[in-house]
Structure 1
Amino acid sequence: MSRAFVSEDAAAAAAAVLPERPVSAMPNLVTASGLAQIEAEIARLEAGLVAATAEDAARPALARDLRYWRARRATAALTEPPARPTEVGFGTTVTLRRPNGDTQLWRIVGEDEADPARGLLSWASPVAQALLGAAPGDVVEMGKGRPAMTVLAVG
């Protein structure tokens, strides 16, 4: 086909179509701070769309991300930890001792809030799944080839 028969506008529009962001099949449990983060992201993206012109190259990505965050907000289930937790659960903080004696602190949070570098672990992650239900003194296996850890405290 000759180049004369190809619409440049159609080619540009096709390039602007972005795949949707995948949404987890897991229940969307969120902490209060996780819910606030979702709402802040929606507000930021809505403001970005208002400011973007129709020709703005960032507009499709803003619209796609806004759809994702609105879907996450619509399915968010605010889940508060017990006031005095006795075992690891959603929203709790767990202190672990590694076999070498080092300690590590994790807070079990929602998938969108997770940030391991800041000690925030997604409740759906394999490590969190292994920890759920553990109490202080329990030794938790982290998976084949990984050392077990001892739960020191839950808060």
Structure 2
Amino acid sequence: HAGGIEADRTAMARATRDLRYYSARRANAQLIEPSDDTETVRFGGEVTIDREDGRRQTFRIVGEDEADPAQGSVSHVSPLARALMGKSVGDTAMLAGAEVEIVAVG
């Protein structure tokens, strides 16, 4: 039946594409050793910020494939992470035109 063959081709094309993507990502992956630095915002670490409107938010800075802002993880290339990297508790940063203060790093 022709519909079944077409569905199989679509599934195979999707699997092949996913394998190419995975292979490319794996080839470019870099192992990042955990740092003993708990003073500054860094890749793999957590940062807690206070926003001007009173909200306190905690994020973990992760790789692009791991990012899930709804679950509290942001990509290291996101504007939020780029604005905070290398900063320490007490430092401020501008995010989307508003100032935030770093209140914890872990």
**TM-score, scaled relative to structure 1:** 0.61
Distance 1:104 1:68 in 2: 32
1:60-139 map, 5 Å: 60-139=13-92
TM-align CA RMSD: 1.7
Question: Is the Cα–Cα contact under 8 Å of residues 88 and 132 in structure 1 kept in the other structure?
Answer: yes
Larger Rg: 1
Q: Which protein has the bigger strand share?
A: 2
Structure 1, unmatched stretches of 5+, are: 1-52
State which of 91, 95, 104 in structure 2 corresponds to 1:142: 95
Taking a change above 3 Å as real, the CA distance of residues 118 and 55 of structure 1, as seen in their structure-2 partners, is closer
Question: Is the Cα–Cα contact under 8 Å of residues 107 and 120 in structure 1 kept in the other structure?
Answer: yes
Query: How many residues are aligned here?
Result: 101
Partner in structure 2 of residue 151 of structure 1: 102
Which sits farther off after the overlay, 74-83 or 127-136?
74-83
Question: Is the Cα–Cα contact under 8 Å of residues 81 and 89 in structure 1 kept in the other structure?
Answer: no
Distance 2:52 2:37 in 1: 27
Distance 2:24 2:46 in 1: 27
Distance 1:58 1:69 in 2: 16
Distance 1:81 1:121 in 2: 17
Q: Which amino acid aligns with 2:49?
A: L
Higher relative contact order (CA 8 A, sep 6+): 2
